[in-house]
Amino acid sequence: MAALGALRSCWAPARLLTGSAHHSNRLVLCQQTSIKRHFSNNKILVELDEATGVAVMKMKNPPVNSLSLDFLTEFSITLEKLEMDRGCRGLILTSASPKIFSAGLDIMEMCGKSAEHYGEFWRAVQEMWLKLYGSNMVTIAAINGSSPAGGCLMALCCDYRIMADNPKYAIGLNETQLGIVAPFWFKDTMSNVVGNRVTEQALQLGQMFPAPEALKFGLVDQLVPEEKVQSTAASVMAQWLTVPDHARQITKSMMRKQTTDKLVNNREADIKNFVSFITRDSIQKSLQVYMERLRQRKQ
């Protein structure tokens, strides 16, 4: 193992964007071992396969994987840990419970709370986006269920999206349906994937795309039978990991930096904007009506 460690360190180029080192030879070197490391908390399960350098991150926040302040905090801490781990080169993001990938931001975090709470919550949403969209790892979303709004944003942050081929599952930025507005960085993330025209129409209508439509419009890259979502993600990941990390990372950063910089340079203003928007009586009313509609639909 010591010899392996020495080989590793002399083959590994310095990690260019956030500080730890990755290299595309790891796969070959590590075929001798198959150690799986688990670092989970009560909301996120992570299994890191040291042989492949791939971590599978399963969101587990029942009933619908809504993105609460606690969840977002755990998510960002976990992602940071993986980002700094030189044994981890790829991340597969999925849900621990099929049918729902994520219901998006926890609406209860945006209802009837203090301005201070809204500020803290929005900072956590920003942090999740900055970390996931700016990740140096190869990121693949294994979308094994519906994925509205913030859930769709998470998937769009990834480098590649594989969705379960089930028309009952839908994905999209549906904010306007709630009477709220997707902020500029949600809009930019979608636009970078599907282009301006599709984004403009989808955002105005708050459109949710059933899986086949999502594929047609390029919101996802591939549909596969539900039981093959994870294995397909693993084989796509293996292909992506054949590219030398440093070249892929610089390219990814070149494509995304302008978008992330827009938020990095305007974080406080964006928080202020969110707080002043969400505290309006009319917006609070819209959210309450939407939650009521959800409950009634259930009954």
Ligand X SMILES: CCCCC/C=C\CCCC/C=C/C(=O)SCCNC(=O)CCNC(=O)[C@H](O)C(C)(C)COP(=O)(O)OP(=O)(O)OC[C@H]1O[C@@H](n2cnc3c(N)ncnc32)[C@H](O)[C@@H]1OP(=O)(O)O
Annotated catalytic residues are 105, 150, 174-175
Shortest spacing between CB 62 and ligand X, in angstroms:
9
Taking the complex as a whole, the smallest distance from the CB of residue 4 to ligand X amounts, in Å, to 44
Residues 21 to 60 in contact with ligand X, rule: CB under 6 A: none
Phi, psi of 286 (to 5 degrees): -60, -45
State yes or no: residue 294 binds ligand X (CB under 6 A): yes
Tell me which residue of 168, 166, 178 sits closest to 205, measured CA to CA.
Answer: 178
Choice between 143 and 180, CB closer to ligand X:
180
269 binds ligand X (CB under 6 A): no
List Cβ neighbours of 25 (8 Å cut-off, separation of 6 or more): 11
Residues that bind ligand X (rule: CB under 6 A) add up to a total of 29
Closest to ligand X by CB, 37 or 293 = 293
**Nearest C-alpha neighbor of 102 from the set 46, 142, 132:** 142
Residues 118-147 that bind ligand X (CB under 6 A): 146
Binding mask 70-109 for ligand X (x = CB under 6 A): ------------------------------x--xxxxxx-
Nearer to ligand X, 88 or 208 (CB): 208
Per the omega criterion (within 30 degrees of 0), is the bond before 148 cis? no
- Of positions 86, 228, 277, 279, contacts ligand X by CB under 6 A: 277
Size (the chain), residues? 299
The distance of closest approach from Cβ of residue 177 to ligand X in the complex, given in angstroms and rounded to an integer, is 7
Pick 90 or 150: Cβ nearer ligand X: 150
**Residue (209 or 274) nearer to ligand X, CB:** 274
CA 142 to CA 17: how far, in whole Å? 25
* Closest distance to ligand X from the beta carbon of 108 (Å): 5
Least distance (Å) from ligand X to the CB of residue 161? 17
81, 111, 208: which is closest to 155 by C-alpha? 208
Q: Which of 131, 95, 132, 140 is nearest to 240 (CA)?
A: 140
Among 14, 63, 242, 281, binds ligand X (CB under 6 A): 63
CB of 123 to ligand X, least distance (A): 13
- CA nearest neighbour of 263 among 175, 189, 180, 179: 189
Half-sphere exposure of residue 79: CA atoms within 13 angstroms, side-chain side: 26
Interatomic CA distance for residues 126 and 72, integer angstroms: 10
Tell me, rounded to whole angstroms, the distance of Cα 156 from its chain centroid.
7
Residue 206 binds ligand X (CB under 6 A): no
Report the residue number, 219 or 236, with the smaller CB distance to ligand X.
219
- CA 219, 225, 227, 228 torsion-angle sign: negative
| Residue with the CB atom nearest ligand X in the bound state | 104
Q: Judged by CB under 6 A, which stretch of 128-136, 155-163, 189-197, 290-298 contacts ligand X? A: 290-298
Rounded Cα distance, 271 and 289, in Å: 24
| Subset of 152-181 contacting ligand X (CB under 6 A) | 174-175, 178, 180-181
Residue recorded with tokens 């801490």: 77
Distance CA 177, CA 39 (A): 37
Q: How far apart are CA 97 and CA 5, in angstroms?
A: 37
Residue ranges that bind ligand X, judged by CB under 6 A: 63-64, 66, 100, 103-108, 146, 148-150, 174-175, 178, 180-183, 273-274, 277-278, 291, 294-295, 298
